[in-house]
Amino acid sequence: MAQRDLDPDLLDPLKSQARQHGRSLQGEVKAMLESSAQLSPSEARALAEQWRERLAGRMQSDSADLVREDRER
């Protein structure tokens, strides 16, 4: 999993959670994605709202710029 450009405030707790579960960072993220795929639409909406509130006001990078940068290497 590429860790570049990930906010340490998000990355550090994920790494800690992965260690607690005996998984790699990639394994932890995969488990989280698999778990979230099992959510009902109303559960998914509630979770998305929680993330919107958590990330509100933060500057987010444009992923197109990151993809372009990778392609130019």
Q: Examine residue 65 and state whether it is found in any structural domain, yes or no.
A: no
- DSSP string of 33-66? HHHHTT--HHHHHHHHHHHHHHHTT-----HHHH
The pTM score is 0.49
Q: Examine residue 1 and state whether it is found in any structural domain, yes or no.
A: no
pLDDT in tens, 22-43: 999 999 999 999 988 888 999 9
Q: Examine residue 32 and state whether it is found in any structural domain, yes or no.
A: yes
d(CA 3, CA 29): 12
Q: Examine residue 36 and state whether it is found in any structural domain, yes or no.
A: yes
The residue among 46 and 73 whose pLDDT is bigger is: 46
Q: Examine residue 60 and state whether it is found in any structural domain, yes or no.
A: no
Range of the domain at 29: 8-55
Q: State how many domains the chain has.
A: 1
Q: Examine residue 63 and state whether it is found in any structural domain, yes or no.
A: no
Give every CB contact of residue 11 below 8 A, 6+ residues apart in sequence.
3
Q: Examine residue 69 and state whether it is found in any structural domain, yes or no.
A: no
